Chains A and B, each alone.
Chain A
């Protein structure tokens, strides 16, 4: 399968709560990236974490990477209604292929 897996597939929370999304992948990676996509729109790059990094922060985003388990998590703290979107992880394969393999995505709904 080209895709990794993400869970949950859908997440519904209230404003102010934290949202955690998980991503698992299958092969060795160069880096892992998280993207956001609003309905019917293009992708917005959120954060990139390299294979030798374990945790990274950017504003209200916190990403972890566990290469031994081939998994990553994205935490959005103090969520806002504007965070409502689909979130995808994407892995860049090692070996110089430059190909991004996308996970199935998590649809996040943040209710006011």
Chain B
């Protein structure tokens, strides 16, 4: 399967600052990547679909101006949490849908734990 990395793995920031999280597909190209958020002891909630070369598609209730997504290349998508607040503290996970896959299997990154003080 595809190897997906996320950076950083953990980040602690002050309220009001912006945080950028990177998701890289190390061995597959991916026109599509996904960003999920997971609160403690809860399931993964899809935030947005990141499309290379075009605007991301956000799920209902997710603020696109707060969670900026950039998919500038076929192997990199970034999620920027702007003006972070304590309620944004969560586990953010990306996944990669390798281009040309036929069974739509996604491969997940290890996640980034964001703590906003």
Q: Please report the number of residue pairs spanning A and B whose Cβ atoms sit closer than 8 angstroms.
A: 57
State whether A100 touches B43 (Cβ < 8 A).
no
With A and B bound together, what is the CA distance between A40 and B15 in angstroms?
23
Contacts of A33 in B (CB 8 A): 105
Nearest-neighbor residue (CB-CB) of B32 within chain A: A98
Q: How far is the CB of B85 from chain A (nearest CB, A)?
A: 22
Contact (A105, B91) CB under 8 Å given A42-B109, A45-B105: no
A88 at the binding interface (Cβ < 8 Å): yes
Place the interface of chain A in its size category.
Answer: 20 to 34
Beyond A45-B107, A98-B49, whether A88 also contacts B44 by CB under 8 A is: yes
- Contact call B59/A40, Cβ cutoff below 8 A: no
Contacts of B43 in A (CB 8 A): 3, 88, 102-105
Q: Kindly identify which residue among A35, A40, A92 contacts B113, using a CB–CB cutoff of 8 Å.
A: A40
A residues neighboring B (CB under 8 Å): 2-3, 30-31, 33, 35, 40-43, 45, 48, 50, 88, 90, 92, 98-105, 107
CB pairs A–B below 8 angstroms (12 shown): A3-B43, A40-B91, A40-B111, A41-B110, A42-B93, A43-B44, A45-B107, A88-B43, A88-B44, A102-B43, A102-B46, A104-B42
